[in-house]
């Protein structure tokens, strides 16, 4: 099969790889029809994620058609169309039984830090990802979610990661009706966090970024107020002024470890003195009101980052963070897509053949051509 292969930081190629096969009775093999590049894939692409081995295939947002079924799989048959959570979850361990599918202790024997995930280095189990024509999906009765017969895989593709992640970000903020919410980041996760904030009854949603076309899209797609942090002297002072000096009730970090906006943090991150740049976390802590909540879904990795602990403690903040437990959100969010409340696929800016994945990564990383979200299409599905 054809599949993306990581070669070096900033270098990926599409190569021939052996087709995946059933390795365990609970496996399926999925023929992929749609697969997306995630913002967090860029951390892999930039060589920032430990134990990213040359040759691995990235990709944790995919949907497709069941091609082969292991003898232990009860809920799926050949020909079924499914969208798959990025989490690899056994369903039976102590964490999965509590609904914490992102924390599965069986799926990732390499680390206690993280659960299993598709295509996200051996730090998360070393599973081959879905930027390919086929992928092996373990624990197939747990994760994969059927695509309704009257919907296309593209309608529901983002149920795999970014839509539930944006929703969980807003949920972790414990948003109450009338709350003021600041979302740092107008990438796909930020867009869905803004949308979810409205669904939860926010009174005001302010989105922060520096890319003008992303800010414009956020205004149109979500009807939010926007701030370009490169056009103001001090974004924190600006946001405090916008919120009458009090700060927001909830601040959401949908940016992660490659944040722009602070020379000092960027320097520390590039020199590997800390694991990336938590600029958005600092801004969130500084612009949330006393007693407010900071919700972190931006991806960060080990070993450690600076954190404004004194501000957080003295302001009586609640800090929530986490990878999304995707499977819990899929049914509810499917209904919101189906009834027209959320038009998830509207955020797609580029649809490209899988063979053009290297160019797609370059374009996405450099934010060229107004790139917002890239969906790759394997040749058999074109």
Binding footprint of another protein on the chain (CB under 8 A): 7-9, 23-27, 47, 50-56, 72, 90-92, 96-100, 106-107, 109-113, 122-123, 125-128, 138-139, 167-168, 171-172, 174, 177-178, 196, 198-201, 203, 223, 272, 275, 301-304, 325, 328-329, 331-333, 336, 340-342
Structure letter (DSSP) for residue 135: E
Work out how close the CB of 91 gets to another protein at its nearest, in angstroms, rounded to a whole number.
5
Work out how close the CB of 123 gets to another protein at its nearest, in angstroms, rounded to a whole number.
7
Q: Which two tokens stand for residue 287?
A: 């612009």
Whichever of 171 and 209 has its CB closer to another protein, that residue is: 171
Measuring CA to CA, which residue among 333, 288, 328 is closest to residue 308? 288
Helix (H, G, I), strand (E, B) or coil at 120: coil
Question: Do residues 106 and 127 make contact, with C-beta atoms less than 8 angstroms apart?
Answer: no
Contacts (Cβ under 8 Å, ≥6 apart) of 264: none
Structure letter (DSSP) for residue 258: B
Whichever of 190 and 261 has its CB closer to another protein, that residue is: 190
Whichever of 197 and 235 has its CB closer to another protein, that residue is: 197
Whichever of 160 and 325 has its CB closer to another protein, that residue is: 325
Kindly write down the DSSP assignment for every residue of 55-86, as one continuous string. T-----EEEEEEEEE-TT--S--TT-EEEE-S
Work out how close the CB of 234 gets to another protein at its nearest, in angstroms, rounded to a whole number.
29
Work out how close the CB of 208 gets to another protein at its nearest, in angstroms, rounded to a whole number.
19
Contacts (Cβ under 8 Å, ≥6 apart) of 358: 11, 12, 13, 14
Work out how close the CB of 107 gets to another protein at its nearest, in angstroms, rounded to a whole number.
7
Work out how close the CB of 254 gets to another protein at its nearest, in angstroms, rounded to a whole number.
16
Helix (H, G, I), strand (E, B) or coil at 113: coil
Whichever of 113 and 382 has its CB closer to another protein, that residue is: 113
Give the span between the Cα atoms of 186 and 192, in whole angstroms. 9
Whichever of 47 and 148 has its CB closer to another protein, that residue is: 47
């Amino acid at each position: 099969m054809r599949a993306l292969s990581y070669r070096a930081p900033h270098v990926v190629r599409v190569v021939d790889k052996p087709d995946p096969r059933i390795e365990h009775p609970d496996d399926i093999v999925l023929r992929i029809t749609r697969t997306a590049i995630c913002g967090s894939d860029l951390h892999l692409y930039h060589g920032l994620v430990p134990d990213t081995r040359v040759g691995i295939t990235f990709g944790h947002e995919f949907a497709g058609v069941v091609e082969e079924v292991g003898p232990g799989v009860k809920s799926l048959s050949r020909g079924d169309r499914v969208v798959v959570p990025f989490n690899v979850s056994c369903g039976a361990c102590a964490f999965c039984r509590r609904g914490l599918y992102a924390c599965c202790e069986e799926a990732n024997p390499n680390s206690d830090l993280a659960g299993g995930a598709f295509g996200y280095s051996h730090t998360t189990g070393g599973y081959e990802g879905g930027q390919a024509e086929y992928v092996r999906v373990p624990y197939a009765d747990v994760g994969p979610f059927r695509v309704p017969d009257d919907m296309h895989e593209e309608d529901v593709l983002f149920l795999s990661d970014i839509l539930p992640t944006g929703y969980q970000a807003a949920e972790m903020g414990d948003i109450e009706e009338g709350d003021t919410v600041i979302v740092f980041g107008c990438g796909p996760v930020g867009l869905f966090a803004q949308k979810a904030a409205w669904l939860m009854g926010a009174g005001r949603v302010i989105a922060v970024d520096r890319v003008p076309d992303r800010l414009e899209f956020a205004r149109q797609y979500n009807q939010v107020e926007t701030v370009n942090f490169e056009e103001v002297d001090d974004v924190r002072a600006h946001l405090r002024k916008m919120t009458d000096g009090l700060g927001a009730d909830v601040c959401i970090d949908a940016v992660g470890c490659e944040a722009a906006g602070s020379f000092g943090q960027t320097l520390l991150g590039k020199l590997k003195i800390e694991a990336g740049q938590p600029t958005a976390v600092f801004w969130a802590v500084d612009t949330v009101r006393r007693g407010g909540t900071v919700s972190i879904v931006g991806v960060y990795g080990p070993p450690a980052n600076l954190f404004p602990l004194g501000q957080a403690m003295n302001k009586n903040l609640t800090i929530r963070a986490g990878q999304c437990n995707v499977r819990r959100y899929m049914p509810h969010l499917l209904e919101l897509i189906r009834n027209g409340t959320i038009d998830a696929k509207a955020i797609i800016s580029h649809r490209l053949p899988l063979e053009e994945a290297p160019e797609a990564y370059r374009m996405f990383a450099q934010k060229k051509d107004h790139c917002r979200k890239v969906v790759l299409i394997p040749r058999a599905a074109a």
